[in-house]
């Protein structure tokens, strides 16, 4: 494994930030009546993916805490996919945008699942 020194170096984190920023840009064009509902929710969940990855990174001393935070990130990614589906069904985004964002979040979820499955590789070993 490459010597990663910060959560910001993780591919999954970078992918999460890129997807969240894309959602931020897209939701600028949503109708004003969605500002305090759909826009807030999809932005919050997409950003929460990244925040939970960062929190997991700091909890690497404890496997259960590390896995729990990665699992939270996975759940937030899935929630974001639900909001993407609603945005599509409300005609706020087109099919190609929906498909691209859905694929982006499937990739992020896959990366998170892989990290969870390989948690022992990421855990900080105590120095004795």
Query: Which CATH number is 33's domain given?
Result: 1.20.1440.60
Does the residue 57 lie in any domain?
Answer: yes
Q: What is the pLDDT of residue 96?
A: 98
Does the residue 71 lie in any domain?
Answer: yes
Does the residue 99 lie in any domain?
Answer: yes
Q: Which two tokens stand for residue 9?
A: 């170096």
Q: Summarize the confidence of residues 48-69 as an average pLDDT.
A: 97
Does the residue 70 lie in any domain?
Answer: yes
Number of domains, the chain:
1
- Distance between CA 79 and CA 86 in Å, rounded? 11
Does the residue 102 lie in any domain?
Answer: yes
Structural domain boundaries, residue 51: 7-121
At 18-30, the pLDDT tens digits run 999 999 999 999 9
Does the residue 32 lie in any domain?
Answer: yes
pTM metric for this prediction: 0.94
Reduced to 3 states (helix: H, G, I; strand: E, B; else coil), residue 126 is coil
End-to-end CA distance of the chain: 23
């Amino acid at each position: 494994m490459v010597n990663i020194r910060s959560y910001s170096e993780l591919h999954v984190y970078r992918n999460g930030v890129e997807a969240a920023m894309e959602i931020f840009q897209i939701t600028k064009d949503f109708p004003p009546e969605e500002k305090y509902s759909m826009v807030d929710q999809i932005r919050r969940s997409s950003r929460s993916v990244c925040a939970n990855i960062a929190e997991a990174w700091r909890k690497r001393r404890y496997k259960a805490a590390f896995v729990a935070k990665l699992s939270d990130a996975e759940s937030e990614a899935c929630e974001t996919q639900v909001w993407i589906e609603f945005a599509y069904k409300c005609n706020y985004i087109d099919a190609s945008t929906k498909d691209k964002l859905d694929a982006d979040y499937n990739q992020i979820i896959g990366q998170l699942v892989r990290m969870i499955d390989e948690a022992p590789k990421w855990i900080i070993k105590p120095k004795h």
